[in-house]
Structure 1
Amino acid sequence: MKIYLRFVFSFFLVFTSCDKKVKETTVPQKPNIIIFYVDDLGYGDLSSYGAVGVSTPNVDKLAENGIKYTDAHSAAATCTPSRYSLLTGQYAFRNRARVLPGDAPLLIDTKTPTLPKMLKKAGYNTAVVGKWHLGLGNGDTNWNEEIKPGPLEIGFDYSFLLPATGDRVPTIFVENHRAINLDENDPIQISYKKPFEGVPTGKTNPEMLRYPADNQHSEAIVNGISRIGNQTGGESALWTDEDFPYIFTEKANQFIEKNKENPFFLFFSFHDIHVPRLPNKQFQGKSSMGLRGDAIVQMDWMTGQIIKKIEELNIDKNTLVIFTSDNGPVLNDGYSDKAEELLGSHKPSGPFRGGKYSAFEAGTRVPMITYWPEKIKKGESKALISQVDYYASLASLINKKLGKKEAIDSKNLEETLLNANTKGRKLMLEESFTLSLRNKNYKYITPIKNRKANKWIYGKKIESGASNEPQLYDLSKDIGEEVNIAKENKKLTKKMQSQIDSIVAISKK
């Protein structure tokens, strides 16, 4: 019997002139669902996961009163692929998903089954608030007109977005199909091909910058920070980074307030702690790690405000909360904001090797917490679980049957979401620049062929995990993936490569 909330149908007899009638006095109620999706938050970046130099009391409260996972994973080691997998229940390689430029078309085909579509069919009102980075429009977007297809075409009823990320133009908010606060007499123009004549960039005017950036992030300057891509016009619509925590939190809470009487799904996609890191003044200096640590504090505050809202509305006991990150951590990801210099003894990746972009464990092993007062069996879970599994698990939670071609890579781990003592996957794929496989405690990394395997992610001080030779690690004895045992275990290595090949072959059927 499922352990989530089920209402019992009660019947009573009503006697009228000797006639008997039976009535239902209660009806099943679907739980609200909130997914907090933090950007670039590493396994070790929360107090409850061993953070040093920063405190996250609001998220820690969720961990203390919910389930804290120690072997949970994003589907990929970078953001766009992870988001794609979470929302479609499919591995990102099936659609060749990569990190997108800011003017990319919508990555998810509007005919593709999605998590919000599935929930919407089940009676949910759905919303996405925050970072998108899954593309908008058909590829030649005029940001001054209707911007579609987008979230509304793949199942969301409401959207309030950063179109891509904070380090990419356009630096405007898009609500549903429209950029907000645009002046028709000052249209915005975007180019990822060449700069606009006479418009300052980080390359031509570095003296205008609040802190330096690498060559890739040295184009359009907005709010004293240079970005990727070129932009001109639209002055009235440009965002101020420091306003993100208040604007996104307000939009999320407005959606919750509006839908307090209905089942709702909120995909709250943080920009924090992605670069550029510009936390509001309220949070500056609240950690010992500079802007990156302060951005973590800001993220924690935002989480607390939304939890406070569902508590005030007395719907917290009918709301399943999932808190996690889109990939592992990175310190210097294009901007010199002293994240490396002020790190101290803090370990963003925890005990694991690598980070964002990497094939090693820290690329995808991230914090994950589920929280549902009085409905879940709390504790610490060692279950192996991927974000690609949320789709099938949530469908099971609400008794929604999936089609044969829907969420083909998603495994139903409903009980794993709700009970700390249940098991998860035995096999799990990890995506980066290559494919890796977990088989219980064994980790296999597919070798790079036909090109040199670079040990380091360029400019990031993160080990890539790349090799021209097969890699096999026993995580039960070697959590840091230091000793490659592939040569001594050729049979297992061959078997795990075959298992990867079988997973890949599904998309060709």
Structure 2
Amino acid sequence: MKWLILLALFLALTGRAADPSPSAKPNPPQRVNILLFYADDLGYGELGCYGLKEVPTPHIDSIAANGIRFTNGYVSAPLCSPSRAGLMTGRYPQRFGHENNRMTAERGLPLAETTLGQRLKSLGYATAIVGKWHLGKEPDWLPMRRGFDEYFGVVGNPGSYFRPRGFMDSRLTATPRAAPNDFYTTDAFAARATDWIERHKDTLWFLYLAFNAVHTPHEATENYLKRVAHIPDRRHQTLYAMISAMDDAVGRVLAKLRDLKQEEQTLIFFISDNGAPGGRPGNGPLRGTKYTCWEGGIRIPWLIQWKNTLPAGKVFDRPVIQLDVMPTCLAAAGGTLEPAWNLDGVNLLPFLTGENKDCPHPTLYWRIDGMWAVRHGDMKLVCGQRGHLPELFDLAADPGETNDLAARQPDKVKELKALWDQWNAQLAAAPAAPADNTTKKEKKRNKIKT
């Protein structure tokens, strides 16, 4: 009889262990808010945390200090619109023909492509874009029909920071209208962003804050210009004032998170859409400019922060690309990544926590208007000018792409070209490239560090 009592007690205890009570079950994955800053034409060397000395950028730098700074962070295209297309889809924009900025009135991000806004909205997120869209201007292509609840910004390049064309505020109208008086886009975008976060503080939210700074025209208000009066070159003076204004805007949004005690539950990205254009030293040691496949066109400032989840003050040297934003966000949000989506990006979280020791991307690819590149490991093969032979570089030893190894390593050239050919065969047909109207001066500039 005694052994029956002991057996019953044993079964009760082991049964309870096998079927834990709700209070004993593991906590579900933490779901977070998502804040995505996307700068415009900001070069690799144009933040304090990447070596800028002319003007401080403490608020953007704080994302690096509290999170991770990437030294090999890339974008999938060295130009505004296709870069945004890759960001919003997690797919190389060349796959679906969105390779450049040349869009007719009824063309933009193909309607068959699903945006990050749509995917997060399906997970219960409130969604908004504040800033530059540049993925189509007709009604079916506008953010309100691409997964965003609210839109405050400019449809494309606004032409002016003070009197932007293509301005929209979906709280008031679904069509473009004149911007309010006393408008400066960078400040106005920060004000709407903080207002929207305040309104959605009690729900999960995704905010895509896409500055048009520091794209031309270079314009700044007097209060920002006063900060850079010590810079003698007037043209660069205004640029640095715009960088300071953008840093202030980021600071206002980060302060709102702290005020609401939401900083630790917010995954934050800061990325630029492409490198700096010619005529300014913004790409640091890197060769080339915006609209080239040299490092200066495609390697950009790339920061991520998620307090108490990702390490702080870390530098990550392996290649990542802005296509990784979508899968990383969806993983953080508790979503799933379906193979049928054919994403090119990967979830970076296990790589950043150290759970996965491999490289997120053994190989990365680019193609735009007859120019192209492939990076495999530290080796890069690049056709930097239409119709020219590709050049080979070891980026670990030569990030400035000054020492062409193609003649000395023909087998490596063949290997990388075969990789690029295989990728290129999967893509939509390349649009007709424009005539090569690059001036001799521009060609010379792209042959040296800029």
Q: Return the TM-score normalized by structure 2.
A: 0.81
* Residue 162 of structure 1: aligned partner: 154
1:486 aligns with 2:406: yes
Question: Structure 1 pair 150/63, CA: closer, same or farther in 2 (3 Å)?
Answer: same
Q: 1:426 aligns with which of 362, 372, 384?
A: 362
1:361 aligns with 2:295: yes
Specify the code of the residue in structure 1 equivalent to 2:393.
Y
Tell me how far 1:170 sits from its aligned partner.
7.2
- Using the alignment, how far apart are the partners of 1:496 and 1:101 within structure 2? 29
CA-to-aligned-CA distance 1:307-350 (integer Å, 9 cap, x gap): 00000000100001011100000255xxxxxxx5xxxxxx4111
Question: Which residues in structure 2 correspond to 1:331-342 (within 5 Å)?
Answer: 332=279
1:272 aligns with 2:217: no
Question: Structure 1 pair 257/102, CA: closer, same or farther in 2 (3 Å)?
Answer: farther
- Using the alignment, how far apart are the partners of 1:22 and 1:272 within structure 2? 50
* Residue 216 of structure 1: aligned partner: none
**DSSP-derived class of the 2:346 partner:** coil
Q: 1:438 aligns with which of 371, 375, 378?
A: 375
Kindly indicate whether the alpha-carbon contact (under 8 Å) linking 1:42 and 1:366 is maintained by their aligned counterparts in 2.
yes
1:284 aligns with 2:225: yes
Q: 2:264 aligns with which of 317, 324, 328?
A: 317
* Residue 309 of structure 2: aligned partner: 375
- Of 28-37 and 321-330, deviating more is 28-37
CA-to-aligned-CA distance 1:1-56 (integer Å, 9 cap, x gap): xxxxxxxxxxxxxxxxxxx9855897654111111100011110011111121110
Higher helix share: 2
Specify the code of the residue in structure 1 equivalent to 2:283.
S
Question: Structure 1 pair 238/311, CA: closer, same or farther in 2 (3 Å)?
Answer: closer
Q: 1:301 aligns with which of 228, 248, 251?
A: 248
Kindly indicate whether the alpha-carbon contact (under 8 Å) linking 1:162 and 1:171 is maintained by their aligned counterparts in 2.
yes
Specify the code of the residue in structure 1 equivalent to 2:412.
L
1:497 aligns with 2:433: no
Structure 2: tracts of 5 or more residues without a match? 1-19, 430-450
- Using the alignment, how far apart are the partners of 1:401 and 1:111 within structure 2? 20
- Using the alignment, how far apart are the partners of 1:27 and 1:416 within structure 2? 21
Q: 1:388 aligns with which of 302, 313, 323?
A: 323
Q: Return the TM-score normalized by structure 1.
A: 0.72
Question: Structure 1 pair 27/96, CA: closer, same or farther in 2 (3 Å)?
Answer: closer
Kindly indicate whether the alpha-carbon contact (under 8 Å) linking 1:69 and 1:369 is maintained by their aligned counterparts in 2.
yes
* Residue 82 of structure 2: aligned partner: 81
Tell me how far 1:467 sits from its aligned partner.
5.4
- Using the alignment, how far apart are the partners of 2:428 and 2:64 within structure 1? 40
Tell me how far 1:92 sits from its aligned partner.
1.6
1:261 aligns with 2:202: yes
Tell me how far 1:290 sits from its aligned partner.
1.1
Kindly indicate whether the alpha-carbon contact (under 8 Å) linking 1:89 and 1:408 is maintained by their aligned counterparts in 2.
yes
* Residue 32 of structure 1: aligned partner: 33
Structure 1: tracts of 5 or more residues without a match? 1-19, 138-146, 183-187, 189-233, 333-339, 341-346, 447-463
Specify the code of the residue in structure 2 equivalent to 1:468.
H
* Residue 228 of structure 1: aligned partner: none
* Residue 437 of structure 2: aligned partner: none
- Using the alignment, how far apart are the partners of 1:85 and 1:122 within structure 2? 21
CA-to-aligned-CA distance 1:425-462 (integer Å, 9 cap, x gap): 2111134432211111111114xxxxxxxxxxxxxxxx
- Using the alignment, how far apart are the partners of 1:62 and 1:68 within structure 2? 8
- Cα RMSD over matched residues? 2.8
- Using the alignment, how far apart are the partners of 1:271 and 1:349 within structure 2? 18
Tell me how far 1:118 sits from its aligned partner.
1.2
